[in-house]
A and B are shown apart, each in its own frame.
Chain A
């Protein structure tokens, strides 16, 4: 049999076919809803038959995008999502980088405890914090319906802190010592030596810190009642649960909004997918 001749690690043709089939079906199941989302958003009237799987020139329209934009201002939604995401992104990269550097390179009292805290924070479930955070931020601080209130609970992503730490740990200590001998101050060291060396971590963190708030629903939903301040995920969700049934083609409008909401992250992900590496994020979660 062929199986006895093959080298370890090689697989037989039958297994290769099986694996290809599994992966092919998997990819189809994963991608199909996205294809269907785009097709559905362009249909004049929803076609749920098999024929509806293919674009039908007689049934194509951009009308759904106009309709959804009349009900929820897509541009305002995108701007609010952008501000929310940018706030989290800036907080996470600036402060996350500083803590990651301090945890990996500097020696100071409380370093171990801070690292343990960063690990612990990741297992605290949001459902327990949701109500007290709402009371604090919306009621006590009066930050309901503000961008700051949206950003605050996500301002520094602890997974990013761990990822930065892991990367800084991989930089040989001698590089820092050499720069110190050359008279570099600690801030100069961070800016000129450390950051250029951890650029891949920076991209991974930016990707993570972008995807999280852009897709976040529950928290901004709780804290924004004013439609002009809602991120797109929240205004689209309100459209789905309250308004959709009053439109002529509710599915078309929902799917058009969904395409607008999904597009920025999917495009960003396609460009930077090689930085979405298993080992980085795995180490970030596992610590």
Chain B
């Protein structure tokens, strides 16, 4: 690219000579920033933004987790002693923290497989539908675009002790009711999040399905494969990159769980059975004023997510044949 532009005689493409490149005009700036120094100017606000909102806090989080960090008046010079891995030790021996990691594990075991299967099946069905296409698309995406806080209200109404779901199930409904039952609180939250987010993953799978060549379906059909067979031998392998992405995003979203336990189960109840790590981070870091401790929980959580993502990538991403 650059060799082509350098080799091009300036006068040929710019007969009037009104625009650069005119060698010798701004050699310093162009040598420093490239052919279009304006690109640096256009990107500067974004780069500053990423530095302030992502890069610096990322480093700050690790720093904080290694110190006895506490809130002080702005500008006050206070000594915040280095404490090494103390925060990590405290976090990993705190039963509430361990319970929250277990909870998010339960959440992921229910939510992630359910999300992958349902969104792929619904996207496959939706992909070839002719009638009511717009209506169906809107129906599936609406929970995703609506505020969690708003739909939480309906789920509280549906799943409380005397709610519609319990009324319909009659004696089969758990007692105590869903969200105040230690065994059912987390699965109910996992179900809620699956329902709420599914539209987004259907969207991703629909995009991926456009890239599966039609010839593959045709030859599968010629070989006598039925719809179910071609789903498993053509569709599933064909959308594998999307599956890796869906696994990754749903795992990260699940690890970020906060709003649902905060509102659906009144702050992670009953008795911590639905507390998520981010909820504990909020309680410890901001309510109790121990940001260093909360940052340590955050670092552990992110490392766990990274490990899960790598494992998923290894087992599902498979050997990419080029």
Interface residue ranges, A against B (CB under 8 Å): 3, 8-9, 11, 15, 19, 22-23, 26-27, 29-31, 33-34, 36-37, 40, 46, 48-50, 52-53, 95-96, 98-99, 101-103, 106-111, 114, 117-118, 121, 123-136, 139-140, 142, 152-153, 155-156, 158, 161, 177, 180-181, 183, 186, 211, 214-215, 217-218, 222, 233-234, 236-237, 240-241, 251, 254-255, 257-259, 261-262, 265-266, 269-270, 273-274, 276, 278-279, 281-283, 285-286
Contacts and interface: CB of A to CB of B under 8 A. Distances in A.
A273 B144 CA distance: 13
B217 A262 contact: no
A-B residue pairs, 5 tightest by C-beta: A108-B39, A282-B207, A106-B39, A106-B36, A8-B218
Contacts of B135: 27
A258 B206 contact: no
Secondary structure dominating the interface of B: helix
Contact of A279 (B38, B61, B210, B299): B210
Contacts of B71: 135, 139
B90 interface: no
Nearest to A270: B138
A102 B43 contact: yes
B26 interface: no
A273 B134 contact: yes
The interface size bin for chain B is 35 or more
A128 B278 CA distance: 9
A132 B168 CA distance: 46
Secondary structure dominating the interface of A: helix
B74 interface: yes
Contacts of B156: 240, 251, 254
Contact of A33 (B19, B125, B151, B286): B151
Contact of A128 (B35, B56, B302): B302
A26 B45 CA distance: 43
Of the candidates B1, B121, B140, B142, the one having the most CB atoms from chain A within 10 angstroms of its own CB is B142
B111 to A, nearest CB: 16
A48 B162 contact: yes
Given A26-B136, A128-B299, 4 more contacts: A49-B164, A127-B281, A131-B281, A269-B138
